[in-house]
């Protein structure tokens, strides 16, 4: 049970997670699916980064890749995943890709926990919640018996669940929102320094979503962990993220703090995405779709993968894939036209 009074992300200490040039491929009958192409980002201590993208963006693949939970037909072809644990002033580095099976099991859950959508099948339906916690704790040689129950009940309290009642329940006796919270508590059980949430609020009711979001905000103040959450829902980024990584066709196309993402985005895709989502206060004329659809990850176009849908695309965009440009030191955008993008698209998607 650790607590950090320091809410600011400490830039002075080394990042908790460094992902460099990650390339992940799936083998499908038709060919190789390039779900992750050169993904790079850092996650500072205590920071929350949102991986925002649509279908085929590679966001879930990236999350699974970090904990090496990729399915059998997928492989990390290239890249580096370095995890740094800070304990008592000392930093221990782990090369996640180099871990063997036993070390990997230790890494997963104790250092880095991944929480999926709370479908009923995320649980063993014939075991009580207490038993499932027991199983996880036992598998990692963690607390037992009374001590385990104490810790679990404490976590249930933090995630706003009725502790005793949930401890004794079977999964089907709990609502979707409650199950999601149990999964988050389970994720936090072994005090990981990195938590990855995959679509934590999808398929949940509005009021339940609100509860979970508020609970996550409180958790971040009380406990000390870094957070990556994966979603297609921009509003989640508004609520929870410090920084936002926008993903498209297997790559991060823009990475900057949340304020810049919404107020001053540089990449046309980000601009288009934000304009495509209606808000409660927006005027209907200000909302426009992005024409076309995401590319086929097996058969990607040359150059910038967004160019078929981008009104600013020129010859260079069509032939040369952009590297990461830096509008500011803490703002990255993979676009040749970032300087003029925002202005050119201010009047709408049609130029």
Partner 1 sequence: MTVPLIQMENVSRRFQVKRDQYITAVNDVSLTVDEGEILCLVGESGCGKTTAGKMIAGLLATSEGRVFYKGQDIAQLKGQAFKDYRLAVQMVHQDPYASLNPSHTIYETISFPLKRHNLAQGDEAIQQRARKLLTMVDITPPDDFLNKFPHQLSGGQRQRVSVARMLTVNPSFIVADEAVSMVDVSIRISLLNTLLELKQKMGLAVVFITHDLALAKYFAWDGAIAVMYLGKIVEMGPARRVVDDPQHPYTQVLLSAVPDADLDATLQREPIQLRSMDVPSLLRLPTGCSFHPRCPYFEGEQCEKVIPQLTRLKSGVSVACHLVLREHEADLA
The footprint of partner 1 (CB under 8 A) covers 54-55, 160, 175, 201, 205-211, 213-214, 232-239, 258-259, 262-263, 272-274, 276-282, 284, 287-291, 293-294
Select 73 or 293, whichever has its Cβ closest to partner 1: 293
DSSP state, residue 248 = E
Helix axes 129-139, 145-158, angle to 10 degrees: 110
Select 84 or 309, whichever has its Cβ closest to partner 1: 309
| Nearest in space to 17 (alpha carbons), one of 71, 79, 72 | 79
Select 278 or 323, whichever has its Cβ closest to partner 1: 278
Select 279 or 340, whichever has its Cβ closest to partner 1: 279
Distance, in Å, from the CA atom of 214 to the CA atom of 294, rounded to the nearest integer, reads: 32
DSSP state, residue 110 = I
State the minimum distance, in angstroms, from the CB of residue 277 to partner 1.
5
Q: What are phi and psi of 76, to 5 degrees?
A: -85, 110
- Exposed, middle or buried: residue 272 (CB in 10 Å: 0-12, 13-18, 19+)? buried
Distance, in Å, from the CA atom of 121 to the CA atom of 138, rounded to the nearest integer, reads: 21
Distance, in Å, from the CA atom of 298 to the CA atom of 32, rounded to the nearest integer, reads: 6
> Cα separations (Å) of 108 from 14, 96, 190?
21, 10, 10
State the minimum distance, in angstroms, from the CB of residue 82 to partner 1.
32
State the minimum distance, in angstroms, from the CB of residue 69 to partner 1.
24
Work out the number of other CB atoms within 10 angstroms of the CB of residue 344: 14
Select 54 or 325, whichever has its Cβ closest to partner 1: 54
Select 91 or 282, whichever has its Cβ closest to partner 1: 282
State the minimum distance, in angstroms, from the CB of residue 130 to partner 1.
22
Select 143 or 304, whichever has its Cβ closest to partner 1: 304
State the minimum distance, in angstroms, from the CB of residue 57 to partner 1.
10
State the minimum distance, in angstroms, from the CB of residue 194 to partner 1.
24
C-alpha dihedral over 218, 222, 228, 230, to 10 degrees?
-20
State the minimum distance, in angstroms, from the CB of residue 257 to partner 1.
11
């Amino acid at each position: 049970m650790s607590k950090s009074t320091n809410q600011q992300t400490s830039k002075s200490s080394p990042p908790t997670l460094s992902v460099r040039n990650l390339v992940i491929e799936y083998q499908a009958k038709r060919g190789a699916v390039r779900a992750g192409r050169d993904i790079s980002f850092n996650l500072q201590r205590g920071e929350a980064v949102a991986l925002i993208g649509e279908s085929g963006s590679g966001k879930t693949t990236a999350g699974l890749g970090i904990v090496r939970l990729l399915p059998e037909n997928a492989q990390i072809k290239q890249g580096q995943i370095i995890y740094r644990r800070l304990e008592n002033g000392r930093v221990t580095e782990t090369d996640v890709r180099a871990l063997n099976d036993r070390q990997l099991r230790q890494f997963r859950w104790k250092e880095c926990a991944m929480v999926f959508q709370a479908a009923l099948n995320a649980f063993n339906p014939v075991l009580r919640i207490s038993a499932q916690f027991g199983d996880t704790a036992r598998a990692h040689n963690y607390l037992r018996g009374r001590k385990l129950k104490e810790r679990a009940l404490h976590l249930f309290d933090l995630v706003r669940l009725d502790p005793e009642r949930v401890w004794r329940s079977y999964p089907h006796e709990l609502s979707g929102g409650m199950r999601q919270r149990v999964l988050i508590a389970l994720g936090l059980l072994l005090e990981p320094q990195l938590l990855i949430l995959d679509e934590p609020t999808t398929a949940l009711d509005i009021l339940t979503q609100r509860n979970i979001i508020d609970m996550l905000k409180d958790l971040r103040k009380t406990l000390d962990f870094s957070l990556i959450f994966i979603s297609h829902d921009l509003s989640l980024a508004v609520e929870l993220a410090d920084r936002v990584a926008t993903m498209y066709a297997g790559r991060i196309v823009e990475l900057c703090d949340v304020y810049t993402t919404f107020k001053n985005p540089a990449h046309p895709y980000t601009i288009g995405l934000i304009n495509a989502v209606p808000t409660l206060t927006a005027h209907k004329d200000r909302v426009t779709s992005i024409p076309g659809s995401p590319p086929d990850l097996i058969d990607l176009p040359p150059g910038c993968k967004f160019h078929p849908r981008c009104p600013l695309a020129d010859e260079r965009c069509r032939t040369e894939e952009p590297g990461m440009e830096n509008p500011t030191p803490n703002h990255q955008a993979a676009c040749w036209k970032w300087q003029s993008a925002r202005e050119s698209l201010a009047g709408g998607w049609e130029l």
